[in-house]
Amino acid sequence: MAAVALGAAWALKAFYSRADADALQWILAPTVRLAHWAGGVVFEWEPRLGYVSREQRFLVAPACAGVNFLIAAFVSLCLGLAPGCRGVRARLGLVLGSAVAAYAATLLANATRIALAVRLHAVDARLHCALGVAVYFGFLLALFAFASRLLEGRRAPA
């Protein structure tokens, strides 16, 4: 289980280290749509560059894709919840479920971070990094707590 999770994380990190915005459309596009919905900021696609808000003078580039959070969320779920899984089928379900949950959490966390960062950018761009850490940490804690409770509920005797 650990080898599968860490191998998938390594492969995604290797891909991400060389990816431009075009290759990251699978995560950038839905993130920007959610950020628009949450914060009302309009973004335009710029090939190879990312999504630009000309009005706010803000760029959502590959570095803003949230892939590192996705990796951390996936590995945390897989490794943190694996001891409660018995059997190959349960562990495979955990890996697949962790991938889906990590992707969904990444979209929500990253859209939240971007919507807040656009507003903060107008006030003080230096707080952008601290905001990202706080948002990602909060979402990672919430994700793990939710997944732990969900699995506990499924294991509880009927």
**CA pair distance 45, 22, nearest whole angstrom:** 10
Least confident of 15-24, 34-43, 46-55, 144-153: 144-153
Average pLDDT over residues 145-152: 88
> Residue 86: which pLDDT band, with cuts at 50, 70 and 90?
confident
**Per-residue pLDDT for 141 more than 90?**
yes
- Give the single-character DSSP code of 86: -
State which of 53-62, 69-78, 147-156 shows the largest mean pLDDT.
69-78
The pLDDT of residue 121: 74
Token pair recorded at residue 130? 């601290």
Of the candidates 40, 70, 63, the one whose C-alpha atom is nearest the C-alpha of residue 139 is: 70
The pLDDT of residue 87: 87
Q: What is the mean pLDDT of the chain?
A: 91
**Per-residue pLDDT for 140 more than 90?**
yes
- Is the Cβ–Cβ distance between 67 and 12 less than 8 Å? yes
Instruction: Kindly give the residue spans of alpha helices, DSSP state H, lying in 40-158.
Output: 67-81, 88-123, 128-155
> Residue 127: which pLDDT band, with cuts at 50, 70 and 90?
confident
Determine if the pTM surpasses 0.75.
Answer: yes
